[in-house]
Amino acid sequence: MEEELAAFLRSQQVLSSDVHVHHQQGIRNARPIPPAGRQVAAKPPIDVTAWIVWERDGLELLETTAQAWAGRDVLVAVRDVRWPVLGVWLVAQDVRRR
């Protein structure tokens, strides 16, 4: 029994933090992260629809939340295996309140 367990454990692929790396894509309309001093948190977050332009998959209208803004840029939440972080800054014209 112990040998079977050991063989089973050896046969399992250990998933690392880059398990989804082959799914990752850039967002073509992403904006640079503005300086922290210019960022204003949205409290509470605002329900929005964001126009996301994926590197390979193209346009997606994403129902999400605005988390912050800085000038004419808006930080929206993105929970998608294609994007390695939890949000993206977009120009305000790519974001509409719901």
Chain segment 4-44, per-residue pLDDT in tens: 766 666 655 555 555 556 689 999 999 999 999 999 999 99
Domain ranges for the chain: 23-97
Q: Indicate whether 96 pLDDT > 90.
A: yes
How buried is residue 91: exposed, middle or buried, by Cβ count under 10 Å (0-12/13-18/19+)? middle
Chain segment 44-66, per-residue pLDDT in tens: 999 999 999 999 999 999 999 99
C-alpha–C-alpha distance, residues 47 and 62, integer Å? 11
3-state DSSP assignment of residue 23: helix
**Predicted TM-score of the model (pTM):** 0.78
Q: What is the pLDDT of residue 86?
A: 94
